[in-house]
Amino acid sequence: MSAALDQPAARPAAAARPLVRVRDLHVTFATRERTVHAVNGVDLDLAAGEVLCILGESGSGKSVTMRALMRLLPRFARISGAIEVAGRDVAAMNERELADFRGGEVAMIFQEPMTALDPVFTIGRQIAETVQRHEGASRQAAEARALELLELVQIPSAKRRLAAYPHELSGGLRQRAMIAVALACRPKLLLADEPTTALDATVQIQVLLLLRELQRELGMGVIFVTHDLGVAGEIADRVAVMYAGRVVEEGPVGALMAAPLHPYPQGLLGATVHPGMRGRRLTTIPGAPPLLDVVAPGCAFPPRCPHAEEACLAAVPAMRSPAPGRRARCLRVPDGDVS
Amino acid sequence: MDDLASAPDRGGPAQPLLTLTGLVKHFPLKGGLFGRTRAVVRAVDGVSFAVAKGETLGIVGESGCGKSTTARLLMRLIDPDAGSMIFNGEPVGESEQAGGIALRDYRRQVQMVFQDSYASLNPRLPIEESIAFGPRVHGLPAAEAVQRARELLAAVGLAPESFARRYPHELSGGQRQRVNIARALALRPRLVILDEPVSALDKSVEAQVLNLLVDLKEGFGLTYVFISHDLNVVQYISDRVLVMYLGEVVEMGPVEAIYDRAAHPYTRALLDSRPSMDPARRRTRPPLTGDPPNPVNPPSGCRFRTRCPSAEEVCAARKPRMAALGGGHVAACHMADPGSGHSRAGAALEAAA
């Protein structure tokens, strides 16, 4: 493991204000039948130009956390906590401000590009429309920009592809086209919700490398939600692992992947099939993630945790930091670095 | 065979359990005024391989390579356009007088587990009824069928007393996949086709199901065909691996040969495309550019040549033959075939040796 990657210095240091600052975020979905506590007190910081992966399994609250940043949750969702993006309070925005904010300062890409692209407009028109809407550019200028963007995302014969409809493109090209739409207004923050999960292996790595290159070139902050440890290893500067609506561990990608502190990411790493595990029995995390109908008063992991004690159930463990840049919510982690 | 015991073995361990020769399946694309065939999707285009008794054969490839169509052909959920299948020494689908095995008997001995655990269970039946359904259709008395279902639930790690009467929607994805596995075993099959069985599961649950599959194979003496896009999982579970590209087999061999000494450039690219969990070993350049081409109009000669870094004229002119690299390792690449006329012919052979 290279030491350079483990240094928090990789992020632009001394940025006075983080690009994203989330404090004590709670999201509950209440319907007549049941109430689901999807996010239960998440704190996140993202520096400008940094890539943070939120890693978690289905139901861990990773996508809900990300959507809250853009206020893309359904109306019946109850959201509390502070969300600041680029110094602005997202909760206080009115509809008009939100419409400017989405697609302008913050853009999002999704797993399934067909749901994000409009099937009845050409790729070129969709990009140009975004540029016209947010930057007030003329139609001509917007179309020129659309061509630049398709070249930026490395779509071959970009000029011809401007006139293509989404269904005429292959999966990988569609994903690139969606990235082009998202980058149309040079966002400061890109939110990516499993954008490579549905892609074939040889295409997935192309899109990951493209995203990393674009992020560096444009200096964007990126929050990348994934369930795949390998994807996080390819793209993240920092990783936040979520379980049952809370961040249980956070740290630089290299250090966290090499030696996780919390038993959940430890188990996850052991349960993920690596090359060279043939013939060995896989370690598993017994049981299944909890239903989120009630919030556990303590740590949510004890039913599956090999080290659980009574103290774990009493109260939610505070974040402990044994080393600079590393934090975990576990009573077994020593609290060395007081920061 | 009324008691639905496991079928007797023939031919001993040397005879493959299943042999496929020249299997072809094309899907016509209809359109236009009279629904004429406009084009043909060459989903599986001349696939031959054998599955040995007691082994796990992994099949890998990207979307459109024909791996799922191959699975459906193996199960005879669809009929092949050409080619033959021989199961345990008997031609599949031919009359018993001609020494064949009827489809009904074949399907009892070959069972399948699908990726979508919910869609493959009847939502209105308690899971023990779903598991007992097959044996009852095949003539086992109801009480015995339910008894067998409960034993199988226990075997897949779901306590029958608390799970037997539950409905599919009351289970988690991992539990439902266990039920599907139990159901596949209810007819005491010899061959189980697993089509992306863990792809929809969370990682922590995936490991549980993989361990279970290893245990069941041992306990029930099964043979697996394991289809997946996850190369790490296939490496973990398979004895032999088959790589498909655009409806054809491009490479096949023992798992170590494929993962350590891949001879086909596509196999190498596929392996190199795996994200590494070590951020210190990040790549800067993707192994391949572009998407897999459409199987409607596959390229002439070698189908991989349009994306291959080593393609030459001979690759467009002639389809490569399956070159043997020793130890059951074969690759359909002109570079692996010393007499092919490719400038690097034989290079792969040296690399593989």
Q: What is the pLDDT of residues B58-95, one digit of tens each?
A: 999 988 899 989 999 999 999 999 999 999 989 998 87
Residue B30 CB contacts under 8 Å (≥ 6 apart), including other chains: B36, B37, B38
Structure tokens at B149: 């279902």
Average pLDDT, chain A: 89
CB within 8 Å: B207 and A282? yes
Distance CA B43, CA B28 (A): 10
Amino acid at A214: L
pLDDT band at A6 (very low <50, low <70, confident <90, very high): very low
> Which residues of chain A does B255 touch, with a Cβ-Cβ cutoff of 8 Å?
278
pLDDT band at A172 (very low <50, low <70, confident <90, very high): confident
Q: Which of 181-220 (A) contact B at CB < 8 A?
A: 200-206, 208-209
- Strands of the B56-60 sheet, one edge to the other: B110-113, B191-195, B223-227, B56-60, B240-245, B248-254, B330-332, B322-324
Per-residue b or e along B72-96, where b marks 16 or more CB atoms closer than 10 Å to that residue's CB: bbbbbeeebeebebbbbebebbbee
CB within 8 Å: A156 and B270? no
pLDDT band at B349 (very low <50, low <70, confident <90, very high): low
CB within 8 Å: B236 and A273? yes
CB within 8 Å: B203 and A208? no
Distance CA A186, CA A124 (A): 17
Structure tokens at B38: 């406009």
Q: Does A104 touch chain B (CB under 8 A)?
A: no
Q: Does A253 touch chain B (CB under 8 A)?
A: yes
DSSP letter at B159? -
CB within 8 Å: B283 and A205? yes
Is the pLDDT confidence value at B3 over 80? no
| CA quadruple B313, B318, B319, B321: dihedral sign | negative
Q: Does A277 touch chain B (CB under 8 A)?
A: yes
Structure-model confidence comparison of residues A183 and B352, the more confident one: A183
Q: What is the CA radius of gyration of chain B?
A: 22
Which residues in B have their CB inside 8 Å of a CB on A?
62-63, 172, 174-175, 202-208, 210-211, 214, 229-233, 235-236, 255, 259, 269-270, 273-280, 282-292
Range in A56-60, A273-277, B338-342 the model is least confident about: A273-277
pLDDT at A7: 45
Domains contained in chain B, CATH given:
18-243 (3.40.50.300), 265-275+300-353 (no CATH)
> Which residues of chain A does B58 touch, with a Cβ-Cβ cutoff of 8 Å?
none
pLDDT band at A21 (very low <50, low <70, confident <90, very high): very high
DSSP letter at B307? G
Range in A100-109, A199-208, B29-38 the model is least confident about: B29-38
Q: Which of 45-84 (A) contact B at CB < 8 A?
A: 57-58
CB within 8 Å: B279 and A288? no
Average pLDDT, chain B: 90
Is B303 within 8 Å of B296 (Cβ atoms)? no
Of A206, A230, A285, the CB nearest to B286: A206
Per-residue b or e along A123-156, where b marks 16 or more CB atoms closer than 10 Å to that residue's CB: bbbbbbbbbbbbeebeeeebbebbbebbebbbbe
Distance CA A113, CA A123 (A): 12
Written as one string, the DSSP assignment of B205-243 is HHHHHHHHHHHHHHHHT-EEEEE-S-HHHHHHH-SEEEE
To the nearest whole Å, the CA of B91 is away from the closest chain A CA by 34
> Which residues of chain B does A282 touch, with a Cβ-Cβ cutoff of 8 Å?
207, 210-211, 236
pLDDT at A5: 44
Q: Which of A89, A15, A74 is nearest to A48 (CA)?
A: A15
> Which residues of chain B does A281 touch, with a Cβ-Cβ cutoff of 8 Å?
211, 214
To the nearest whole Å, the CA of A37 is away from the closest chain B CA by 18
Amino acid at A197: T
pLDDT at A337: 57
Strands A246-252 and A326-328: antiparallel
Dump strand ranges (E) for A2-115. Answer: 20-30, 35-46, 51-55, 77-85, 88-89, 106-109
CB within 8 Å: B291 and A200? yes
Of A209, A272, A282, the CB nearest to B286: A209
Give the phi and the psi of residue B297 in degrees, each rounded to 5: -125, 75
Interior angle at CA B212, CA B146 and CA B227, nearest 5: 100
Is the pLDDT confidence value at B348 over 80? no
How many residue contacts between A and B have a Cβ separation below 8 Å? 133
Choose, out of B204, B226, B230, B258, the residue to mutate when testing the contact with A (most A CBs < 10 Å): B204
To the nearest whole Å, the CA of A92 is away from the closest chain B CA by 36
Q: Locate the chain B residue with the closest alpha carbon to A204.
A: B273
| CA quadruple A109, A115, A116, A119: dihedral sign | positive
* pLDDT tens digits for range A188-238: 999 999 998 888 889 999 999 999 999 999 999 999 999 999 999 999 999
Average pLDDT over residues A88-116: 90
CB within 8 Å: B275 and A284? no
Q: Which of A9, A15, A24, A7 is nearest to A47 (CA)?
A: A15
> Which residues of chain B does A285 touch, with a Cβ-Cβ cutoff of 8 Å?
204, 207
Q: Report the percent of chain A where pLDDT is more than 70.
A: 94
To the nearest whole Å, the CA of A139 is away from the closest chain B CA by 30
CB within 8 Å: A273 and B230? yes
CB within 8 Å: A58 and B291? no
pLDDT at B199: 87
Q: Locate the chain A residue with the closest alpha carbon to B236.
A: A278
Of A2, A267, A277, the CB nearest to B204: A267
Instruction: Give first-to-last CA distance, chain A, whole Å.
Output: 25
Is the pLDDT confidence value at B347 over 90? no
Average pLDDT over residues A152-168: 91
